[in-house]
């Protein structure tokens, strides 16, 4: 998530915060963070969700993102949690990061499509899922910008959405 580029003093930690911080004491005081990379655990059988890690970033390579993800997965395993799936938005950086973890979700039409990777600690399958709400938002924006998309030679037009939107308000 985007954050404001600023430096603030933390009285409780007696230090300045706002610089790029990838954890493990690796603070880059020469660069201010523009994003917070947040990892959240969500229960499958219970109704709970909890942020488990965050990193202050400016730009993170896909390889570094996979290393941070691996560290968080290992910490969750050490805490006794079983991770069944990793959910992220469909940005290319995340799809590439999945590749570093051992999945291959870029080759949908051509084998080997592999929608999971092995957990670094337990060697259990961790399935890849894309955030549906975010994917629909990306599709809406793409359709709105281009006006027309094609799926199997069938036209999908922004005009249809405009007509539908107008029809709803008539009812």
User: Domain residues for 29?
Assistant: 1-60
Residue % of the chain over a pLDDT of 70: 95
Q: Which of the listed residues 60, 91, 106 is the one where a domain comes to its end?
A: 60
Residue 86 CA to residue 68 CA, distance in Å, equals 13
Q: Which of the listed residues 15, 32, 60 is the one where a domain comes to its end?
A: 60
- Whether 23 is in a domain gets the answer yes
- Whether 3 is in a domain gets the answer yes
- Whether 113 is in a domain gets the answer no
- Whether 73 is in a domain gets the answer no
pLDDT of the residue at 170 = 67
- Whether 1 is in a domain gets the answer yes
For the chain, the domain total comes to 2
Residue 35 CA to residue 5 CA, distance in Å, equals 9
Task: Tell me the pLDDT tens digit for each residue of 125-160.
Answer: 999 999 999 999 988 899 989 999 888 899 989 888
Q: Which of the listed residues 9, 27, 60 is the one where a domain comes to its end?
A: 60
- Whether 55 is in a domain gets the answer yes
pLDDT band at 102 (very low <50, low <70, confident <90, very high): very high
For the beta carbon of residue 97, count every other beta carbon within 10 angstroms.
24
Residue 79 CA to residue 50 CA, distance in Å, equals 13
Q: Is the pLDDT of residue 41 over 90?
A: yes
- Positive or negative torsion for Cα 128, 134, 140, 143: negative
Using CA atoms, how far residue 72 sits from 24, 48, 81, 149, 155, in Å, is 12, 18, 11, 38, 43
For the entire predicted model, the pTM comes to 0.80
- Whether 151 is in a domain gets the answer yes
- Where are the strands (E) in 22-171, listed by range? 27-32, 35-42, 49-57, 85-88, 116-118, 125-130, 148-151, 154-157
pLDDT of the residue at 108 = 66
- Whether 42 is in a domain gets the answer yes
């Amino acid at each position: 998530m985007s954050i404001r580029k600023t430096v603030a003093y933390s009285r409780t930690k007696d230090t300045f915060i706002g610089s790029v911080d990838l954890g493990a004491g690796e603070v880059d005081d020469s660069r201010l963070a523009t994003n917070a990379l947040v990892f959240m655990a969500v229960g499958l059988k219970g109704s709970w969700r909890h942020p488990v890690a965050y990193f202050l970033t400016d730009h993170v390579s896909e390889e570094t993102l996979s290393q941070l993800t691996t560290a968080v997965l290992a910490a969750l395993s050490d805490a006794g949690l079983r991770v069944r799936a990793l959910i992220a938005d469909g940005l290319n950086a995340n799809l590439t990061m999945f590749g570093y973890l051992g999945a291959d979700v870029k080759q949908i039409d051509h084998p080997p499509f592999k929608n999971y990777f092995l957990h670094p600690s337990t060697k259990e399958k961790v399935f890849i899922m894309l955030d549906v709400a975010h994917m629909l938002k990306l599709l809406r924006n793409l359709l709105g910008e281009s006006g027309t998309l094609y799926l199997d030679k069938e036209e999908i037009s922004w005009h249809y959405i405009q007509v539908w939107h107008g029809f709803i308000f008539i009812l």
